[in-house]
């Protein structure tokens, strides 16, 4: 990880930086869901394009699961440089996921699970855990990343809670991503679904049905 000078505001105020980035992220996501972000920002997606984005998101998240697992293994073996590269790559994949996800929601819509009760309730449970973890882990992931990018290896080990925070961040995000992939498979390949246009998309185009 990089070493920053003592007067670097990112290094001096990691919690404040984390709070600002978290608020910005939450605002963009919630605004997109509620249709508060102008629909013109997003391309007008067809159902086929929504499906392609869903597939691409699942691929990115699957790769990210492997990247986080590798990063976790490397730090346990004290391979710090490999661990750092894996965690930065993981965050880049998170950003790729976020762009695709917001594009899918803002320009298209969501798909609701249609299946038997014995599959529906486990699906809902896994989806709920996935969503809750993805929400609450955002500031933890950002905090671990800010610490890692602004402190030296020695500082991270002796002067910051990076190790403890990193465990929580990696564990929660890993579980969230894994559950997201499982729910994707249940929704898109094992059972049926119904398409619902997003609020942002509905403001620009008619509701698309199947």
Which CATH code is given to the segment(s) 41-202?
Answer: 1.20.120
- pLDDT confidence tier of residue 7, bands split at 50, 70 and 90: low
What is the chain's mean pLDDT, rounded? 86
pLDDT in tens, 56-89: 999 999 999 999 999 999 999 999 999 999 999 9
**Distance separating the N- and C-terminal Cα atoms of the chain:** 49
At residue 204, the pLDDT reads: 43
At residue 137, the pLDDT reads: 92
Rounded Cα distance, 116 and 128, in Å: 18
pLDDT in tens, 27-55: 988 888 777 776 568 888 888 899 999 99
| pLDDT of 192 strictly over 60 | yes
At residue 199, the pLDDT reads: 56
| pLDDT of 206 strictly over 80 | no
At residue 73, the pLDDT reads: 95
SS (HEC) of 144-179: HHHHHHHCCHHHHHHCCCHHHHHHHHHHHHHHHHHH
The pTM of the full predicted model, rounded to 2 decimals, is 0.84
| pLDDT of 198 strictly over 90 | no
What are the extents of the domains in the chain? 41-202
CB of 188 closer than 8 Å to CB of 94: no
At residue 41, the pLDDT reads: 80
Q: What is the mean pLDDT of residues 97-110?
A: 88
Rounded Cα distance, 156 and 75, in Å: 13
| pLDDT of 1 strictly over 50 | no
pLDDT in tens, 151-176: 998 998 899 999 999 999 999 999 99
> Among the residues of 34-161, which ranges form H helices?
47-76, 80-107, 117-150, 153-158
- pLDDT confidence tier of residue 205, bands split at 50, 70 and 90: very low
Residues whose CB falls within 8 Å of the CB of residue 114, separated by 6 or more in sequence, listed in order: 191, 192, 193, 194
């Amino acid at each position: 990880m990089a070493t920053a000078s003592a007067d670097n505001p990112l290094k001096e105020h990691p919690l404040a930086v984390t709070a600002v980035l978290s608020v910005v992220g939450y605002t963009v996501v919630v605004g997109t869901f509620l249709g508060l972000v102008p629909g013109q920002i997003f391309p007008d997606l067809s159902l086929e394009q929504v499906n392609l984005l869903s597939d691409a998101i699942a691929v990115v998240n699957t790769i990210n699961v492997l990247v986080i697992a590798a990063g976790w293994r490397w730090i346990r073996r004290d391979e710090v440089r490999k661990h750092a590269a894996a965690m930065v790559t993981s965050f880049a994949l998170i950003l790729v996921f976020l762009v695709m996800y917001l594009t899918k929601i803002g320009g298209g819509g969501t798909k609701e699970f249609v299946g038997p009760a014995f599959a529906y309730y486990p699906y809902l449970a896994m989806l709920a855990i996935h969503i809750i973890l993805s929400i609450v882990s955002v500031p933890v992931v950002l905090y671990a990343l800010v610490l890692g990018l602004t402190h030296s290896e020695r500082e991270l080990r002796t002067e910051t809670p990076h190790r403890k925070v990193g465990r929580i961040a990696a564990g929660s995000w890993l579980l969230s991503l894994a559950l997201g992939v499982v729910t994707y498979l249940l929704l898109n390949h094992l059972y049926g679904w119904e398409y619902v246009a997003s609020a942002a998309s509905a403001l620009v185009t008619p509701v698309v049905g199947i």
